[in-house]
Structure formats: structure tokens, C-alpha cells
Amino acid sequence: MRKTVQQWLNLPKSSSLYDPYPPAGDIEMGLVHFDAVQNAFKIYQGAECDGTYDINADRILSGAGFLDFLLQVHMKEWVTGQHLKDLLDCVTCWLHREHGKLPQDFFDVIGGMNIGLDHPGAP
């Protein structure tokens, strides 16, 4: 049985439930799809597939690249909170499947919001 991304993230590690994404190929999370052939994330403007805003997956492999993309998406007039949730769900699944890590671990920001500007190693 497939769970939502949030249900999957909160399961005990010993759970035998399936990951919320296929083992290969495209990943579809609501209004956001990862196209495996094009190696790109596609954010659909609406359920009718009126158009997409795309980014190559390689461009979000750094924390700065991912943050830049999130901010670009946020500035689109048609973007809703659902688009952003679906994007984060899709990226989470893709990173886990392709790189074996969840986003906070992949971008090395676990506990980052607890670090002040006066902390050694802070920018």
C-alpha cells in the first residue's frame, strides 16, 4: 500500500510499506512530475495541463540552486500552496530514490534553523 509522502516520512524505519514513489521512471506528485527521460521537474499550472514550468534536475543539486528555484517558482502568479507542497514532495521522493537521502540530509541543513549568525560555520 502506498502512503502519502508525509505518512511515509513518519513511519518507523522497520515499516514494510512501499515507498510513495516508483522504483524507476517518472514520479508524479499532484501538479508536479519528475520526467525521467528529460531528467526534469515539471510544475503544471493546473489539472488541465495548461502549461508547465520546468527545471533540469541537475540544477537543484546544491542548496543554493534549490532555494533559487523555489523563489523563482514562488514569484509565478499562478503558483499556489499546493504547487509548492507537490514540488517539495516530488523533490523529496526523487532525492531519496536517486541519492538515498532526504532533502535536509542531502543539502546538509539538518538543524540549520537552530544555528544563529554568530555560530562558527554560519555564513
In terms of DSSP H, where are the helices of the chain? 5-9, 63-74, 81-99, 103-106
**pLDDT band for position 114 (50/70/90)?**
low
Domain-embedded: residue 122 = no
Give which of 37, 43, 44, 34 is closest to 96, Cα–Cα.
Answer: 34
Domain-embedded: residue 18 = yes
Rounded to two decimals, the pTM is: 0.81
Domain-embedded: residue 102 = yes
Domain-embedded: residue 119 = no
Q: What percent of the chain has pLDDT over 70?
A: 82
Three-state secondary-structure class, residue 56: strand
- Residue 64 domain boundaries: 5-114
Evaluate if residue 1 carries a pLDDT over 60.
no
Distance (Å, whole) CA 66 – CA 70: 6
Domain-embedded: residue 53 = yes
Evaluate if residue 121 carries a pLDDT over 70.
no
Predicted local confidence at residue 71, as pLDDT:
93
Looking at the 3D structure of the chain, how many domains does it have?
1
pLDDT digits 0-9 by tens, 18-77: 677 888 999 999 999 999 999 999 999 987 767 889 999 999 999 899 999 999 999 999
pLDDT digits 0-9 by tens, 60-109: 999 899 999 999 999 999 999 999 999 999 999 999 999 999 898 999 88
| Distant-in-sequence, close-in-space partners of 60: CB < 8 Å, separation ≥ 6 | 41, 66, 69, 91
Give which of 78, 3, 1 is closest to 44, Cα–Cα.
Answer: 78
Domain-embedded: residue 78 = yes
What's the chain's average pLDDT?
85
Largest CA distance in the chain: 49
Predicted local confidence at residue 3, as pLDDT:
65
